[in-house]
Structure 1
Amino acid sequence: MAGGKQSPRQKMINLMYLVFIAMLALNMSKEVLQAFGLIEENLSTSNTALAEVNSAALADLNQKAATNAAQYEAAAATAQQVSKLSNDYNDYLASIKLKLTSTIEEGSEKDYQTQDKTDVLDNAFFVGDKLKLEGKEFKSNMNQYKNDMIAALGEGYPGVKSDLTSKFDTSDVSDREGLKREYLEYNYKGYPLIASKTKLTLLQNEVRNIQSDVMSQLLQGKLIQIASMNNYKAIVNLDKSAFFSGEAVTGSVVLGRYDDTTVPSKVVINGQEVNKADIKNGQIPLKLGSGSVGEKEITGYMEFIENDKIIKIPIESQYAVIPKPNSATISADKMNVVYRGVENPMTVAFAGIPDNKVNVSGAGLSKASTGYMMKPGAGKTVTITATGTLPNGDKVSDFKEFRIKNLPRPTGMVSKAYENIAKTRANLAISTVSAEFLDFDFDLTPRVTSFLFKVPGQPSVPVSGTKLSASATNVLRKARKGDLVQFAQIKAVLPGVNVQSVSDVTVEITD
């Protein structure tokens, strides 16, 4: 029962509660005991299947690491550590189950109606109301498994870490009367043997499912994708690099990746083999003489060795050599408009004229380490003018007008999600409210300062910061399953930028 000092009345209630539990145990329905046994059987079967799947996934990752260490070695190392931690803890839980069921007569393992005794686990973990060394060890091992797994996962895996934190939590539990009760006493003491065995099997199932979740993410390349998405780039592959006025521009857009783990065994361009030492970050250097004016072709191939076979990928492209132009190229690096309040990267150049021979001007424009930065002020448009000096000393000039737009409205987030969000009250109570500019080309992160928390049928609670306050958490407890709670009037700031009001977020309560 609950620890601490208790009144005589509370001690009497506790005693009556123990008597009531004992009476229930004595009169436990045989059907209920049988149901527990069937559930435990199904969980055990599921655990065996999951263990086989996890073992196969680990073997697959180890094989990939052996053939492509640069890409899969780190993932395989994580998988090995997660597997060892999961297997060791699963074996420990199995040893506890074996000890608890050692008193069952041989041949009666599936006679669940006889497994109604409550004193087997109680004697194993408790001395009266106090935990024995074995009980303390049980909690210590659970916490150790949780902490070691979180450390092994490193960066990423927010969902897995959330499951580890919630499903392997050994802190005291509040019962229906609001009294704090010790974890093992609340979850195991006084239960029939088959019920405790089923709970331990369920813990093993949680271990196997978490292990499977990590393996799945590693095998699907999500970890690698998280680490390397910044190396992807959309590449416009035009049929030609120059087109005549009035001619249709044709080609395709492909997704390319800078990847120094995928290096061809041989590269030939226009009859010349490329030195492999010159290939950096997956990029093959290209240096050709331009030649006379007209269309030129680039041909060649790349060779890769796959499963002891040579795969040849052709290289085919064209480019045009044209006379020096007399007009400037002025473009925004990321968009066809510029945004007020932020620095917009700009490229301003005259084709065929060195940068040191080009003068550029415009309201809010400044020189950067590479290119220019435009930070527009008031108004709806801004004009950039470029003047270039040709080798013969002649001047050529051009200009371009850009529209000025305000930043879009940030999107409100709860735990990095903004739509179709469903959470338990416990998870929502520790969730973080944030704001992001979705599908926006600039890396801007507004900081949430306050919001209004609304639960149906309850007064709205103003909150400062990014997490629910104590008052908001108290109101959250009054939400019912299926209620839609709202984070409204979210306020966010961004230094030097006028941030519009953030959109509201709605979360469905699932418990």
Structure 2
Amino acid sequence: MGSNNTRGMSPRQKMINLMYIVLTAMLALNVSSDVLEGFVQVEEGLSRSNQNIAARNNAIYNRLEEFAIQNPSKGQIWFDKAKQVRQRTEKLHQLMDSLKTAIAIEADGPDADPRNLVNQDDLESASLVMLKPGKRRGGTHLRTSIDVYREFLATLFADSVHRANIRAALATEPVAKSGNAMPIPWEESLFEGKPVVAAVTMLTKLQSDVRYAEGETLAALLNNVDAGDVRVNELNAFVIPQSRNVMRGSRYSANIVLAAVDTTQRPVVYINGNRLQNDNGLYETVPGSTGTFDYKGYLEVPHGDGTVTRHDFQSSYTVIEPTASPGCLGALGLTADKLFLECCLVWFA
């Protein structure tokens, strides 16, 4: 298999690939039955590993299901995608199990058990099942099924790096081999002339790759549940008066609110079509005349999944002549030379 196929794999998977290659090379040298026993041990180890990976994947899947039940509007869309991943994974896993059984039956007869092969060194059965010309020969059907599965998973990743890792882990490109002028099909490189025990072990290894890809995808879907939320790392209290103009004997009203702020990623503020040139939402203007002035704008808030949401706002302010008494200006919360207005994104408790 090509070296590019190891990108994104865990160290354990890389070690398993290397062991398979070494054992196959030893078979080419007609080494004793100890080599066949080596494949049996690798098969057993892979089967145990697959069970552990499946348990981990089930835990992630169950968390997605629980969240969808608790918060359908937020979690159902991701759980629906997880169900598709689970269904496609199980279908592909079952296909590989059926191919193992077919190879074992070809080698040992109708009562064969892929986990307890008798004719482990049979060099023809795997080729007959996987490479025999026909409408649905096993190898071609397996390759096309993996291709469809791989590209489906890739569509569920927003991150190009993770997409590349999934494609590398489930790569089925033709393989260049010494002595061949042209690369040979993926399925031929894995099953042509291989003993039954090696072919069954390879199918178990492919099942491990599929479980790995399933787990990475489910984990990405779980992360997406909260990816669109605004992250906050600071809480501040603000007083927002309904009016700064208070006459004697009248009522003063103000909203006391809690503002959640992400100090590492400020929203971008636009007022009257112009972007504020600071990151703390401070809007300053010097009025040139008296009267009441309206203004409006919007904030653009970035989210963890790469999307940006827009939040519109509008307000107004009143300007009086600078000849007014300082006490009157103070009551209005204004200064004679400059007006300060601050725009805040606020979540009300």
Q: Aligned to 1:180, which of 168, 179, 183?
A: 183
Task: Report the equivalent of 1:396.
Answer: 336
TM-score using structure 1 length: 0.43
Matched, 1:123 2:120: no
Q: Aligned to 1:205, which of 205, 208, 217?
A: 208
Task: Report the equivalent of 2:278.
Answer: 334
3-state SS, counterpart of residue 336 of structure 2: strand
Shift of 1:202: 0.8
Task: Report the equivalent of 2:224.
Answer: 223
* 1:266-309 deviation digits (Å, cap 9, x = unpaired): xxxxxxxxxxxxxxxxxxxx87566689x99867xxxxxxxxxx
Task: Report the equivalent of 2:6.
Answer: none
Task: Report the equivalent of 1:76.
Answer: 79
Task: Report the equivalent of 1:349.
Answer: 285
3-state SS, counterpart of residue 166 of structure 1: helix
3-state SS, counterpart of residue 121 of structure 2: coil
Partner Cα separation in structure 2 for residue 197 and residue 354 of structure 1: 86
Shift of 1:214: 2.0
Partner Cα separation in structure 2 for residue 108 and residue 84 of structure 1: 26
Partner Cα separation in structure 1 for residue 175 and residue 258 of structure 2: 68
Consecutive unaligned residues of structure 1, counting only runs of 5 or more, are: 1-20, 242-285, 300-314, 318-330, 337-344, 359-367, 372-387, 401-511
Q: Is the 8 A contact 1:39 1:198 kept in 2?
A: yes
Q: Aligned AA for 1:150?
A: A
Partner Cα separation in structure 1 for residue 225 and residue 113 of structure 2: 50
Quick check: which one's helix share is greater?
Answer: 2
* 1:28-57 deviation digits (Å, cap 9, x = unpaired): 322221111111111111212322332333
Partner Cα separation in structure 1 for residue 166 and residue 74 of structure 2: 27
Quick check: which one's strand share is greater?
Answer: 1
* 1:104-126 deviation digits (Å, cap 9, x = unpaired): 37698666684011101111133
Q: Aligned to 1:41, which of 19, 44, 59?
A: 44
* 1:148-205 deviation digits (Å, cap 9, x = unpaired): 3334x1x514344223322333332112356321211122101111111111111111
Q: Aligned AA for 2:146?
A: M
3-state SS, counterpart of residue 227 of structure 1: coil
Q: Aligned to 1:165, which of 164, 167, 173?
A: 167
Q: Aligned AA for 1:162?
A: A
3-state SS, counterpart of residue 181 of structure 1: coil
Q: 1:214 to 1:389 in 2, by over 3 A?
A: closer
Matched, 1:140 2:148: no
Q: Aligned AA for 2:236?
A: N
Partner Cα separation in structure 2 for residue 148 and residue 235 of structure 1: 39
3-state SS, counterpart of residue 226 of structure 1: coil
Q: 1:132 to 1:32 in 2, by over 3 A?
A: farther
Q: Is the 8 A contact 1:170 1:183 kept in 2?
A: yes
Task: Report the equivalent of 1:66.
Answer: 69
Alignment length (residue pairs): 265
Partner Cα separation in structure 2 for residue 113 and residue 149 of structure 1: 37
* 1:134-161 deviation digits (Å, cap 9, x = unpaired): 133222222222233334x1x5143442
Q: Is the 8 A contact 2:286 2:339 kept in 1?
A: no
Q: 1:168 to 1:132 in 2, by over 3 A?
A: farther
Q: 1:186 to 1:61 in 2, by over 3 A?
A: same
CA RMSD of superposed structures (Å) = 4.4
Partner Cα separation in structure 2 for residue 237 and residue 354 of structure 1: 33
Task: Report the equivalent of 1:378.
Answer: none
Q: Aligned to 2:95, which of 89, 92, 104?
A: 92
3-state SS, counterpart of residue 27 of structure 1: coil
3-state SS, counterpart of residue 347 of structure 1: strand
Task: Report the equivalent of 1:237.
Answer: 236
Q: 1:233 to 1:109 in 2, by over 3 A?
A: closer
Within 5 Å, which residues of 2 pair with 1:315-334? 333-334=277-278
Q: Is the 8 A contact 1:25 1:118 kept in 2?
A: no
Within 5 Å, which residues of 2 pair with 1:449-460? none
Partner Cα separation in structure 2 for residue 356 and residue 114 of structure 1: 94
Q: Aligned AA for 1:156?
A: A
Q: 1:40 to 1:354 in 2, by over 3 A?
A: farther
* 1:236-266 deviation digits (Å, cap 9, x = unpaired): 515x76xxxxxxxxxxxxxxxxxxxxxxxxx
Q: Is the 8 A contact 1:298 1:316 kept in 2?
A: no
Q: 1:212 to 1:355 in 2, by over 3 A?
A: farther
Partner Cα separation in structure 2 for residue 55 and residue 27 of structure 1: 42
Q: Is the 8 A contact 1:124 1:132 kept in 2?
A: no
* 1:396-431 deviation digits (Å, cap 9, x = unpaired): 33599xxxxxxxxxxxxxxxxxxxxxxxxxxxxxxx
Task: Report the equivalent of 1:470.
Answer: none
Q: 1:79 to 1:157 in 2, by over 3 A?
A: farther
Within 5 Å, which residues of 2 pair with 1:403-482? none
3-state SS, counterpart of residue 133 of structure 1: coil
